[in-house]
Each structure stands twice: as structure tokens, then as C-alpha cells.
Amino acid sequence: MEIRSVGVVGAGQMGNGIAHVMALAGYDVCLNDISQEALDKAVAQVTRNIDRQVSRGKVSQSDRDAAMARIRATLDLAEVAASDLVIEAATENEAVKHKIFEALVPKLQPHTILTSNTSSISITRLASRTDRPEKFMGFHFMNPVPVMQLVELIRGIATDQETYEACLAVVEKLGKTAASAEDFPAFIVNRILMPMINEAVYTLYEGVGNVTSIDMAMKLGTNHPMGPLELADFIGLDTCLAIMNVLHDGLADTKYRPCPLLTKYVEAGWLGRKTSRGFYDYRGEAPVPTR
Ligand code: CAA
């Protein structure tokens, strides 16, 4: 089956990135959120990011204009449901995702493939609450979506081959590369990345290093583009904590216990870049370590 139109539910950091790359690849995109303010913010963000690509010569002005014209922002879930492929990219909270699927499913076309950009939650469990487990799978982008090459494709227990192949064709049309993962907590990327980030927070918590020395050590010592604490702020500390909880609950191994310091930052509302404070304070000209 050929996908021509894509619906994206959730216009946050991931959702607007997904809308951006889908529109550039030629798909008609319907971007949905629960408030007009969130939609306006998302379209402004896509515009800023795509304009940056134009100014760096990565995208032509005419491709930019065509892509922007393909994005329709809407508060109406029924418009999203008319798409060939729907990608749910709401907050990393299972109850929220179930609610979205409950509202969406009665409005979907019979042929629509339903996917989630979840970074850790069981695809099989999410699929079981819909009317189409065989047409349901995980479609996991990395942040920042326009830059990162990888998409993780995760099949639930019931996902059929046709659905997988249709999603793989979309990844290829985006010019990205797919890694296929089995449906176990946090799949591949976050199964490996989040324990590393959590361990960096333990390293801070136990006073082995401060924010600067930990990030410096990993950037210059292992050639990572960002230190683990800088990366945690970039991903969002609430998302990091949610993923650690999925690993801890789903694999029942104490090696995945979230660091109490990570929990404390989240409880403070210091969620990283999106709230201007996390392991760094972003309110001034340059980020300042908070420990
Ligand atoms: N949209 C479009 N282009 C963007 C962009 C965006 N949102 N953000 C950055 N770019 C572009 C820049 O324009 C720049 O382009 P040129 O090469 O043409 O100049 C390029 O990306 C590099 O950006 P910068 O020069 O601003 O900054 P940088 O060199 O420090 O790179 C980075 C920034 C790409 C984010 C880099 O630091 C990096 O790769 N960091 C690690 C990111 C990472 O690990 N992401 C995965 C997180 S895990 C995840 O997402 C999974 C999950 O479920 C939690």
C-alpha cells in the first residue's frame, strides 16, 4: 500500500519535527494538537527550522515553500484520521496515548496504518487497545528529527508484514535509515542510551564529578556530540525519567532504578531546555551548570 498522507497527533518537539520531514519528502501532512497555541508554536518552529536549512543551502526556497504548503494544522482529530498513516507523537505517558487512540480509532479509515512515536512503551499493549493491532507499529524518530538519520521501527506481536513494509518505504522516502527492533521495553536506542544518562546522573549525585566535568569527560573522552547531562536536558528530564520507569517496571531489574536526583529535578519542574532549566540553566546568554 502506498502512503500519500500523514497525520501527526501532538505538535511538540517530536511532532513538529515529524511534520517538517514528512512535508519535505512530499507527503500531505495534517498536524494536530489540543490547543491553537500549541499548533501556532509548532508551525513557527517548523518555519524557523526549515528556513535555517534554506539559509545553509540544504533546502531550496521552492522546496521549502511547497513543504510548508503541505502542512495543515488542525484541532480536529477527524481530519487527522483521514490520513493513510497516523503517527501519534504525544507526551510519553501511556494513559494519554490510550485516550488519543480511543478518540481516533472510530474515525479512522479502514486502510489507515496507526503508529506511535513512543520511545519506550509496549507497542503490543498500545495496539491491543485499538481495532487494528495488525496495522499498528512503533515509528520512533530521534531528536532533532530533521537532522538525525535513524528511525527505529518496532513491530508488535500482531503487526503484519505489509504494515512493516509500508512504514519502511516511508523511512526510505524520507532519506533516513530504519533499524528494526523487537517490542521489549525501550527497544534498542533507549535501552542503551537511558541507562547511560541515568548513570551520568548517579555520577553527579554521588559527587564523582560535577556537571561540567561529566559532560566534558564524555564529549572529549568518547567523542559524543553532547555530554550525557546536556543530552538529557535536550531530550527532556521528564521523558528520561518516564523511560527509566518503563525499563525498571518492564524488566524488573534494580539496575534500571531511576536516580533520585533525576526524580528531584523533574519534581522541581526543571525539565531541561523546554523549561529553561535542568542540569544547565538556559535563562542567560550561555548555559550555566546548576551543580
Ligand atoms: N532542524 C533543522 N536543522 C537542525 C536542527 C533542527 N531542529 N537542529 C540542528 N540542525 C542542523 C543545523 O542547522 C546544522 O546544520 P549544518 O550542518 O548545515 O550547519 C546541524 O544540524 C548541526 O547543528 P548545530 O551546528 O547548530 O549544532 P551541533 O553541531 O552542535 O549539532 C546536534 C547539534 C545535531 C543536535 C548534535 O549536538 C547532536 O547530534 N547531538 C546528539 C543528539 C542525539 O543524540 N539525539 C538523539 C537523542 S535520543 C532520542 O531522540 C530518542 C528518544 O526517544 C529520547
Q: Is the model's pLDDT at 179 over the cut of 80?
A: yes
Where are the chain's structural domains?
5-181, 190-289
Which architecture characterizes domain 190-289 according to CATH? Answer: Orthogonal Bundle (1.10)
Per residue in 211-233, pLDDT (tens digit) is 999 999 999 999 999 999 999 99
Average pLDDT, stretch 241-263? 97
Whether residue 117 has pLDDT greater than 90: yes
Average pLDDT over residues 92-96: 92
Residue 111 is predicted with a pLDDT of 97
Q: Is 130 helix (H, G, I), strand (E, B) or coil?
A: coil
Q: Tell me the CA–centroid distance for residue 93 and ligand 1, in Å.
A: 25
Q: What is the mean pLDDT of residues 176-184?
A: 97
**Nearest of 54, 108, 58, 118 to residue 86 by alpha carbon:** 108
The pLDDT of 233-254, averaged and rounded, is: 96
Q: Taking 90 as the threshold, does the pLDDT of residue 174 lie above it?
A: yes
Average pLDDT of the chain is: 97
Position 79 confidence tier, pLDDT thresholds 50, 70, 90: very high
pLDDT value at residue 92: 87
What cell was used for 135? 496495522
Quote the cell numbers at residue 205.
549525585
Res 234: pLDDT: 97
Q: What is the pLDDT of residue 138?
A: 98
Residue 146 Cβ contacting ligand 1 at under 6 Å: yes
- Place 1 in a pLDDT band, splitting at 50, 70 and 90: confident
The closest-lying atom of ligand 1 relative to the alpha carbon of residue 50 is 2
CATH architecture group of domain 5-181:
3-Layer(aba) Sandwich (3.40)
Q: Quick check: CB of 147 below 6 Å from ligand 1?
A: yes
Is the Cβ–Cβ distance between 278 and 245 less than 8 Å?
no
